[in-house]
Chain A
């Protein structure tokens, strides 16, 4: 777009534009962090200030002392970890045969996993409420794990199948010739060569469950509540407690952001991979 300018000048301008764009994009989140760090009394001052006049951990103190919030964070961790383990356990074998043993049934099953992505959560949530009620699993972490896994399995299947697609079929065949059983080839030979695929799939399942809101809202009411639900309740129960709410939101999003920064390359790779492969 800047062909007529000397090329380095052009790049410099584009670099500046891109930097401004990216920084203005980050501003809202920076404001959230700065709000969380303001003294509680300053949060709702008029006119608002972007940066805290003085730093304070008051809002974080309020959050930790808020009834139910530590428990909700614990529930979130439990549900997300169990969802991840269960969905990998179920999805990985299915993805493996779908990628390496292409048959009519595996193709149809993958198509089914793809269609499942179209199902609005609320359409599944209405009958899931009934099923969980009948099973006595309403307001339990197990009930929520099952609900989350129902959406995590198709996602994990699609991602893992894309990763297995990158494994040469010869690897499995060589293992078979060396006397491995079919399951042995899967377990001892193919699976160990793809730790990054497994890690990304696990991370995506974890994040999806960690962030999930609608099922948690429908299927839990007291004991099984997860962090997003309790954070959302700051809205109504405590009036407009913006300070603690910002602090809770920061606490809630920080672990995922840190992991993202560490694994940025793999995550973006996996994400674009998954999207482009559809």
Chain B
């Protein structure tokens, strides 16, 4: 068998499969987005051109949910990075003795978002949520009813992110720890002998050398945070009054509750384009800085 033939043959199953279950659905998605289609009767399609897109881009609810998605992702990503990197530095400082710490820290990686969402809803829920009792016991808040985490429309989008932060800080920590162990100790030792303090060493040596690893973490976690559905759905179903409705949820609701396949498709297409553009930009930036 020629090499060319062999390569094609080995790729073929994956190509056919992904062609049928990724490329074809995406084509179908874009096609649907130009029609007014009712979910109950997909044959009843009426061509509306860019109508669905105009509607999507002028809909206050969609724009608000898009903005909320960004807020949620930025908030979650920021704390995941700070906590994760902090934990990684602590683990690196005690090096070999951090085995058990890292083992316990690895556990949430395998906890399903559904379980994490349920758990945090139970911790935060009004009147029986133990977190507020804990905070009140420590004197941080006046009484256990002081903060309505999941029913206050002003803070709910940040409250639901707490579960995300709890769930994925460990990913950031473990990947950062792997990155930290790859930094040659001689460099840090040399800087120490030169009389630099720990903060200087962190800022001018550790952080720059960790940069490629952190870039990948931000990319991977950022993409996942923007796509979040289950974790928030299980905590609030998007409520109260859509105050925690992110873009994925908006599309889901548009399709399932309102049965508007065309509208849902147009919004989903815009979402997809945004994600690919964002990822492209990130890769381009990382690639360029790595090569220059």
Interface membership of B113, Cβ < 8 A: yes
Contacts of B220 in A (CB 8 A): 275, 278
Q: Are A260 and B18 in contact (CB under 8 A)?
A: no
Contacts of B141 in A (CB 8 A): none
How many whole Å from A142's CB to the nearest CB in chain B?
13
Chain A interface SS verdict (over half): helix
Complex Cα–Cα for A44 and B125 (A):
11
Contacts of A93 in B (CB 8 A): 10-11, 13-14
CB contacts under 8 Å to B, within A56-97, are: 89-91, 93-94, 96-97
Complex Cα–Cα for A115 and B18 (A):
12
Contacts of B103 in A (CB 8 A): 261, 264
Known: A118-B275, A126-B264. A106 touches B7 (CB 8 A): yes
Known: A93-B11, A93-B13, A131-B24. A15 touches B127 (CB 8 A): no
Known: A120-B272, A182-B3. A252 touches B112 (CB 8 A): yes
Interface membership of A53, Cβ < 8 A: no
Complex Cα–Cα for A72 and B265 (A):
30
Q: Are A157 and B123 in contact (CB under 8 A)?
A: no
Interface membership of B101, Cβ < 8 A: yes
Complex Cα–Cα for A157 and B248 (A):
26
Q: Are B11 and A106 in contact (CB under 8 A)?
A: yes
Interface range on chain A (Cβ under 8 Å from partner): 35 or more
Number of residue pairs spanning A and B whose beta carbons lie under 8 angstroms apart: 282
Q: Are A276 and B179 in contact (CB under 8 A)?
A: yes
**Number of B residues whose C-beta is below 8 Å from A?**
97
Smallest CB-CB separation from B181: which chain A residue?
A272
How many whole Å from B43's CB to the nearest CB in chain A?
11
How many whole Å from B173's CB to the nearest CB in chain A?
10
Contacts of B119 in A (CB 8 A): 28-29, 31-32, 249
CB contacts under 8 Å to A, within B95-109, are: 97-98, 100-109
Complex Cα–Cα for A210 and B4 (A):
37
Q: Are A119 and B26 in contact (CB under 8 A)?
A: yes
Option from A18, A183, A271 in Cβ contact (under 8 Å) with B91:
A18
Contacts of B115 in A (CB 8 A): 32, 231, 249, 252-253
Q: Are B128 and A48 in contact (CB under 8 A)?
A: yes
Complex Cα–Cα for A186 and B1 (A):
14
Q: Are A29 and B107 in contact (CB under 8 A)?
A: yes
How many whole Å from B131's CB to the nearest CB in chain A?
9
Option from A17, A96, A181, A271 in Cβ contact (under 8 Å) with B10:
A96
Contacts of A133 in B (CB 8 A): 42
Q: Are B230 and A249 in contact (CB under 8 A)?
A: no
Known: A245-B118, A271-B174, A276-B175. A120 touches B227 (CB 8 A): yes
Interface membership of B156, Cβ < 8 A: no
Complex Cα–Cα for A121 and B169 (A):
22
For the A-B complex with A3-B197, A245-B118 known, give 16 more contacts whose Cβ atoms are closer than 8 Å: A19-B101, A21-B87, A22-B100, A31-B119, A48-B129, A94-B10, A105-B8, A109-B14, A118-B223, A123-B26, A130-B28, A213-B229, A214-B229, A249-B119, A267-B109, A271-B174
**7 tightest CB-CB pairs across the interface, nearest first?**
A213-B230, A94-B14, A150-B21, A127-B25, A211-B112, A127-B28, A272-B178
